[in-house]
């Protein structure tokens, strides 16, 4: 039995036949597990990705090419689900082609996300990891690099330098669902409900490997410094985290078994 709050959510945003869902995957937000869960429920699916075969082509140019390839009419029928490490500017192209697309994303505590991103890029799972280690010999050098700051804001902005309050307002209006890594269990269950499934997540993938190059010490000491350098991300995260918690409380007030605490996940 659904709660009144859940019924309101379902009536406004539930999955319909022929819908396309797009997951804007911000790096290191538990998105690989999240993507796997959705892909297993929405078929066919497409993951839009780039390769680093040609070092003369910029990262942004590779993303542009990947999105144009995805939007090529020669591909035939639309998938039910697509995802990728793409920026909001790319998503706008998709919205132009499919104004009814249902957009979703995941956020993460900015301190944890930045440290996880730093650690991941120092492993062989990130193809240009050797260049990354050379460019950023330690966490302090990575933290000081302005292009690496406020990544969530960067991914969610429609244009460079977009004011953070404007970004928040647009994401509120245009995205069907915004979850958080810290409320992963709830985020998955709430989104699955939109797909007509009262289910729990089962996939927990892509944990960053530990190696001698990606150890980080003293993160508690660095928290204030990281938050100060990523103030835009902090504002975005706190807004949507608080919004998600309000939704959780409203649903659990009527139906506690629906969404177990995240510290009770298997």
Q: How far apart are CA 175 and CA 24, in angstroms?
A: 10
Beta strands 21-24 and 45-48, pairing class: unpaired
DSSP designation for 221: H
Residue 148 to residues 125, 141, 197, 205, 210, Cα–Cα distance (Å): 19, 10, 37, 24, 22
Strands across the sheet containing 21-24: 45-48, 81-84, 21-24, 102-107, 175-180
pTM of this structure: 0.86
pLDDT at residue 7, as a whole number: 56
pLDDT tens for the 266 residues of the chain, in order: 345 555 566 666 778 888 999 999 999 998 788 999 999 999 999 999 988 777 788 888 999 999 999 999 999 999 999 999 999 999 999 999 999 999 999 999 999 999 888 888 888 887 778 888 898 888 888 989 999 999 999 999 999 999 999 999 999 999 999 999 999 988 998 888 888 888 888 877 667 776 666 667 656 668 889 999 999 999 999 999 999 998 888 777 655 454 444 444 43
Helix (H) or strand (E) holding 147: none
Query: Is the C-alpha dihedral spanning 27, 152, 161, 100 positive or negative?
Result: positive
- Assign 3-class secondary structure to 226-263: HHHHCHHHHHHHHHHHHHHHHHHHHHHHHCHHHCCCHH
pLDDT at residue 193, as a whole number: 84
């Amino acid at each position: 039995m659904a709660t009144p709050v859940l019924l309101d959510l379902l009536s406004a945003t539930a999955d319909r036949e022929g819908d396309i869902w797009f997951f804007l995957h911000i790096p290191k937000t538990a998105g690989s597990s999240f993507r796997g869960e959705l892909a297993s429920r929405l078929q066919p699916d497409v993951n839009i990705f780039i390769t680093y075969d040609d070092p003369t082509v910029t990262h942004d140019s590779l993303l542009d090419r990947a999105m144009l390839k995805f939007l090529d009419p020669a591909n035939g029928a639309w998938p039910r689900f697509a995802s990728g490490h793409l920026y909001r500017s790319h998503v706008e192209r998709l919205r132009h082609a499919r104004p009814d697309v249902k957009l979703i994303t995941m956020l993460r505590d900015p301190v944890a996300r930045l440290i996880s991103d730093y650690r991941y890029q120092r492993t062989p799972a990130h193809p240009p990891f050797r260049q990354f280690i050379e460019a950023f010999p330690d966490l302090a050098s990575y933290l000081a690099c302005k292009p690496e700051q406020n990544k969530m804001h960067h991914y969610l902005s429609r244009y460079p330098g977009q004011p953070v309050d404007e970004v928040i307002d647009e994401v509120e209006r245009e995205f069907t669902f915004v979850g958080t890594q810290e409320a992963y269990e709830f985020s998955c269950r709430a989104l699955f409900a939109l797909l007509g499934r009262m289910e729990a997540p089962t996939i927990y993938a892509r944990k960053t490997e530990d190696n001698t190059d990606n150890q980080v010490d003293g993160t508690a000491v660095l928290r204030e410094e990281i938050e100060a350098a990523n103030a835009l991300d902090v504002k975005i995260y706190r807004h949507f985290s608080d919004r998600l918690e309000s939704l959780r409380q409203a649903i659990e007030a009527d139906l506690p078994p629906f969404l177990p605490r995240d510290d009770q996940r298997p």
